[in-house]
């Protein structure tokens, strides 16, 4: 049986663009990578901590990092930027200061921009977090998947596939369950497919959620 390649990596040259745009000579490449990882982790943790207070799904779709000579530009695509905009000034600065401390580089300016996404449920990351919350609240997995698919149908998508793997329903034997709606042509490179794999840690089990969303064909 063949195995499936990550659709993001498969399409990098054509339909998909990189999330990190920078160049470094091979000797210094690892430093750039480490910085990227630190930035992303820190932003996710920060958002998680602060979002718990308010309603719900965190909703970071993606974090783009662009590095130029003396400027690091971070663009966060979020679903609810207004929750950060409440105390916008303070939180924005806090984020910036803390990320700069993490990176230990005050000589490069750091610029964090937050953008709102049009279609939140057209983004697999946000959907995955939505399903994860429901699974943590012990909703039956099939209901959770169907709810997610319903909310995607309102958005502009041509197909969606959701897969949950692990000890579903806290059974002893782990299994894999998946649902598909519409078409998801994974072999077509010209098809714009967004993919996310998300890990849910509940008290009883660890579940892996994978979501493929087919948006458009070129």
- Reported as type and span, the H/E element at residue 179 is strand 175-182
What's the CA gap between 184 and 191, in Å, rounded? 9
**2 near another protein (CB under 8 A):** yes
CA 57 to centroid of chain Cα atoms: 12
| Residue 153: count of CB within 10 angstroms of its CB | 13
Q: Is 187 in the site for another protein (CB under 8 A)?
A: no
Provide, rounded to whole angstroms, the least separation between the CB of residue 107 and another protein: 17
| Greatest extent of the chain over all pairs of C-alpha atoms, in Å | 54
Stretch that binds another protein, among 24-32, 92-100, 157-165, 197-205 (CB under 8 A): 24-32
**Which residues within the stretch 57-96 sit at the binding site for another protein (CB under 8 A)?**
66-69, 73
Residue 22 · residue 66 · CB < 8 Å: yes
CB of 112 to another protein, least distance (A): 15
Q: CB nearer to another protein: give 22 or 46.
A: 22
Query: In terms of CB distance, is 71 or 85 closer to another protein?
Result: 71
Applying CB under 8 A, among 14, 21, 86, 201 the residue interacting with another protein is 21
Helix axes 124-136, 141-154, angle to 10 degrees: 150
> Which residue in 40, 125, 123, 114 sits closest to 82, CA to CA?
114
197 near another protein (CB under 8 A)? no
CA dist 6 and 211 (Å) reads: 11
Q: Binding residue for another protein (CB under 8 A) from 26, 27, 137, 203?
A: 26
Residue 31 sits in the site that holds another protein (CB under 8 A): no
- Count residues contacting another protein (CB under 8 A)? 13
Question: Which of 26, 118 has the CB closer to another protein?
Answer: 26
d(C-alpha 24, C-alpha 28), whole Å:
6
**Closer residue to another protein in complex, CB, 9/118:** 9
What does the binding site for another protein look like in residue numbers (CB under 8 A)?
A: 2-3, 21-26, 66-69, 73
């Amino acid at each position: 049986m063949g195995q499936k390649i990550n659709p993001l990596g498969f399409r990098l040259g054509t339909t998909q663009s990189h999330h990190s745009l920078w160049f470094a000579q091979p000797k210094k490449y690892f430093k750039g990578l480490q910085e990227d990882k630190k930035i992303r982790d820190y932003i996710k943790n920060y958002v998680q901590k602060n979002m718990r207070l308010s309603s719900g799904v965190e909703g970071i779709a993606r974090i783009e990092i662009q590095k130029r000579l003396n400027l690091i530009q971070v663009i966060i695509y979020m679903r609810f930027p207004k929750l950060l905009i409440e105390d916008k000034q303070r939180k924005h600065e806090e984020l910036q200061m803390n990320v700069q401390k993490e990176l230990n580089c005050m000589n490069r300016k750091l610029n964090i921009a937050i953008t709102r996404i049009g279609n939140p449920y057209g983004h697999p990351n946000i959907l995955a977090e939505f399903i994860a919350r429901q699974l943590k609240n012990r909703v039956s997995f099939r209901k959770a998947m169907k709810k997610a698919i319903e909310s995607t149908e309102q958005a502009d998508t041509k197909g969606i596939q959701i897969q949950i793997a692990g000890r579903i329903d806290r059974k002893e034997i782990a299994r894999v369950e998946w649902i598909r709606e519409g078409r998801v042509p994974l072999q077509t490179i010209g098809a714009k497919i967004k993919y996310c794999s998300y890990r849910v840690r509940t008290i009883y089990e660890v579940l892996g959620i994978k979501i493929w969303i087919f948006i458009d064909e070129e």
